[in-house]
Amino acid sequence: MDKQVLAAMARWPDVPDVFGWLSLTRQGKWRLHPNADALAHLARDSGPLPGEPITSHTILNFINKNYEGDAQGRWYFQNGPQRVFVRLDAAPHILHTVTDTQGTLGLHTHNGLNAAHVHEWLLADDGSLYARTDQGPGIVNGRDLEAVLTLLTTKDDTNMLDLLAHTPDATGPFVITQGFHGDTHPAKTILRRCPATDIATILGFQHNPQP
């Protein structure tokens, strides 16, 4: 978190939190809701309002650097002394693959953090892949899903993409013995299948944070 933000928090500790002004899309894009209506769909039983794209690189960098979660699983942007809580359309982090100079595949979050350690994988019944990482819960960006499943290898040396293609109804859990960065994690990393509706509870985050 930026030093000036920490200083502002110390100077003005009682600034009220705000809700409904910011959302994070499934693609990892920040959206502004000038009418504070990001959570309006909860009352109207309709789809979430998309908000407006944020195009300023300065603002985007500031949000990315000052984005965190609290003990209740609510994620927020610390805007100086004020917490701006975020509607999550998918997960707190959107994960995408990156390749280093040695050609090794890794995971980064939408705000540029290195997700070096995955503690658990969750494959939802809607086909989405989630992860419990050292940076917090995340969902794999759709375009990277195939690459990730190909890299994840079970204890019998079968990659998850092949396993799911040949036995789509296999329930697991599956022990992942090889993942990112060339590390091996025998009997340490598990991939489980579960209902999409259970993901937020299992990973401990709130899609629609409330006061």
Which pLDDT score, from 0 to 100, does residue 181 have?
54
Which pLDDT score, from 0 to 100, does residue 196 have?
96
**For the purposes of burial, counting CB atoms within 10 Å of the CB of 175, is it exposed (0-12), middle (13-18) or buried (19 or more)?**
middle
CA distance 195 to 209: 21
Q: Kindly provide the b/e burial profile for residues 63-102, where b requires at least 16 CB atoms within 10 angstroms of the residue's own CB.
A: beebbebeeebbbbbbbbbbbbbbbbbbbbbbbbbeeeee
CA distance 166 to 188: 25
Which pLDDT score, from 0 to 100, does residue 186 have?
44
Q: Write out the two tokens for 100.
A: 């280093």
Element (H, E) at 184: strand 184-194
Q: Write out the two tokens for 70.
A: 């609290």
CA distance 143 to 156: 26
SS3 107: strand
In contact, 25 and 89? CB cutoff 8 Å: yes
| Length of the chain, in residues | 211
Tens-binned pLDDT, residue by residue, of the chain (211 aa): 666 655 544 454 566 899 999 999 999 999 999 999 999 988 767 788 899 999 999 999 999 999 999 999 999 999 988 899 999 999 999 999 988 777 778 899 999 999 988 889 999 999 999 999 999 999 999 889 998 988 888 877 888 888 888 888 887 788 887 666 545 454 468 899 999 999 999 999 999 999 8
